[in-house]
Amino acid sequence: MKQACVVVTGSGGGIGRAVCETLVDADIKVIGIDVNPAREGADHIQFDLSRLVDDSNAAGVLRDRILELTDDDTLTGVINLAAIQLLGNVSLLSIDSYLESFKVNALAPLV
């Protein structure tokens, strides 16, 4: 029998990790995507989602890596938790910081 499979972006953060653990406890296969390396042996793709905006080939690369990990399981959903938080004095933040945040937080989920 095929197992449900969910992709979780931002799987390395606090909320992402908790969501992944909850899904695994419910016998749902999880493929985590995070810019940082995986902390445990779960299916994980280390990937910077801002590449989806900057590189026209990145979506195909990411899709292929996800499909490799799904095996015969049915991909049933994507939970987008990836985000870049800009903390600190707003007047000291660079335009590049804002652009990187916008790419990951607003544009990447649309690609």
DSSP track, 14-63 = HHHHHHHHHHHHTT-EEEEEESSPPSSSS-EEE--TTHHHH-TTHHHHHH
* Placement of tokens 């994507």 in the chain: 78
pLDDT at position 3 is 83
pLDDT at 41: 54
What's the pTM?
0.86
* Residues with pLDDT less than 50, the chain: none
pLDDT of residue 111: 75
Which pLDDT score is estimated for 39? 66
Output the pLDDT for position 22.
94
The H or E element that residue 66 is part of is helix 58-70
pLDDT digits (tens, 9 = 90+) for 81-110: 998 888 888 888 888 888 888 888 888 888
pLDDT at residue 80, rounded to an integer = 94
